[in-house]
Amino acid sequence: MIKYQNLKKICLTSMFTFTSFQIWAGIQTGPLNTSLNYADLALYSKENTTKNFTNMNMFILNSTLDLDKLNEHDLGEIKLQFTMKGFGNQDQDPYYQNMWMSGTGSWSAGFLASNELADYQLAQISWDKSWLNDSLDTVMGRTNPRKYFLYNYCQNFALCIDPIKGAMGAAGFNYGYWSAYAKYHMNDKLYLHSGIFEVNTDDWLNQKHGLDFSFHHEKGWLTVFGAGYNINDKSKIEAFYFNNSSINKNALTGERYKNTDGFNIRMNYDFVDKPLGVFANYSHITENNYPLKGTWETGIHCYDCVFNHRISAKFGQTELHPYYTILTQQANGVNQAKTTYLSVDTSFKYKKLSVAPFIQYFFSSDNFWLSTEKPIDQNLVVGMAVSLSLF
């Protein structure tokens, strides 16, 4: 069975790559612009009740059809994103007993390796259009709220640790559901934006690959209202409120609840006359039945510091709601609601290749994954994110 699955992956990957290169070679200069990227994340956990090392990787195909080039009318763009997992990703499967993330001892450390089930996924197919002299941007179709409300303030995509993503019912970026989003630019600095997104866990659990276009999942809807201010070309502050109407269950009491809501404030600021930047993030989930209560992070970037490359340092903390702390105490005696962590990361780029190593230290771990093995009070995670633009 394992050999058959590996052979299937090799065939799918070969077909995917060949088709992508054919698209690029034939119509890259026309109305269709296509890119193919490879991303890899390797993680080593010093303390782990399952296994110490894991690796996950993915091919990401992006295509944009410019409708303006097809005729003289301003019709916007059709955007498509398709992802395919590479090899050795079984550690992300929640049904896999040796799953890396559940053995790290805390939600914060395990968050780096998200649960990805499907070998391939239609991540986005949407119609993007600007109106009113580019003052209003709209997106309609199947896409993900993380692409519009959770911008990456950390530089490294793997290190923005925020439990609000799960509370919003938003799966990973490569899961796209029915959505409508609008962003209005009040002026060059201030903007307002809002969106409504389908909450669809069926696609993830049942591995429907984003190809189930029906409207009858009835899991609920995510609504988000936000505002942002562009401080300068590379700096901004943004805040939003969300409500997730899906029904969930309290793992301790069995109580069912809906309308999980919360808010987020995040910012980054790069100094104009110095090679320095600062960033911060705060999230709060108001629903007491949700496992996680929120998080805060703050850090600093120093550009051109290590062999003319960036180095960043970050300090933060996540917190559980009280009822979930009771669960961890019942599991193996861990009565710790807050997990504190610090990290250091850098990045090196050569042409189309980017390599970003990092190290994270976690202490006072919350034991979020309820491991039945020995509690892990402190942990060290070493990782490296690699991205390569194939075309």
Instruction: Look up residue 183 and give its two tokens.
Output: 């962003």
Beta-bridge mates of residue 37: 60, 389
The identity of residue 168, as a single letter, is: M
Which band of pLDDT confidence, cut at 50, 70 and 90, is reported for residue 26? Answer: very low
pLDDT value at residue 299: 96
Cβ–Cβ < 8 Å for 196, 223 = yes
Q: Which residue has the higher pLDDT, 28 or 140?
A: 140
All structural domains of the chain, each given as residue ranges with its CATH number in brackets, are 2-389 (2.40.160.180)
Cβ–Cβ < 8 Å for 390, 36 = yes
Which band of pLDDT confidence, cut at 50, 70 and 90, is reported for residue 209? Answer: confident
Q: Which residue has the higher pLDDT, 34 or 205?
A: 34
With CA atoms as reference, report the closest residue to 379 among 389, 388, 369. Answer: 369
Question: What digits encode the pLDDT tens for the residues 362-371?
Answer: 998 898 887 6
With CA atoms as reference, report the closest residue to 299 among 282, 319, 316. Answer: 316
pLDDT (mean) for 68-96: 78
Cβ–Cβ < 8 Å for 79, 89 = no
The burial of 107, by beta-carbon neighbours within 10 Å (0-12 exposed, 13-18 middle, 19 or more buried), is given as buried
Does residue 315 surpass a pLDDT of 90? yes
The burial of 8, by beta-carbon neighbours within 10 Å (0-12 exposed, 13-18 middle, 19 or more buried), is given as exposed
The identity of residue 195, as a single letter, is: G
Place of tokens 């080593």: 44
pLDDT (mean) for 134-142: 97
Does residue 29 surpass a pLDDT of 70? no
Which band of pLDDT confidence, cut at 50, 70 and 90, is reported for residue 373? Answer: confident
CA dihedral (353, 359, 365, 367) positive or negative: positive
Q: State percent of the chain over pLDDT 70.
A: 88
Which band of pLDDT confidence, cut at 50, 70 and 90, is reported for residue 208? Answer: confident
Q: Quick one: which H or E segment has residue 332?
A: helix 322-332
Cβ-proximal residues to 26 (8 Å cutoff; 6+ apart), any chain? none
Mean per-residue pLDDT of the chain: 87
DSSP state letters, 193-226: EEEEEE--HHHHHTT-TT----S---S-EEEEEE
The span from the CA of 209 to the CA of 15, in Å, is 17
pLDDT value at residue 354: 95
pLDDT (mean) for 218-234: 93
What distances in angstroms separate CA 46 from CA 225, 313, 346, one per listed residue?
Answer: 40, 20, 20
Does residue 190 surpass a pLDDT of 90? yes
pLDDT value at residue 20: 52
Question: What digits encode the pLDDT tens for the residues 236-286?
Answer: 999 999 999 999 999 889 999 999 999 999 999 999 889 999 999 999 999
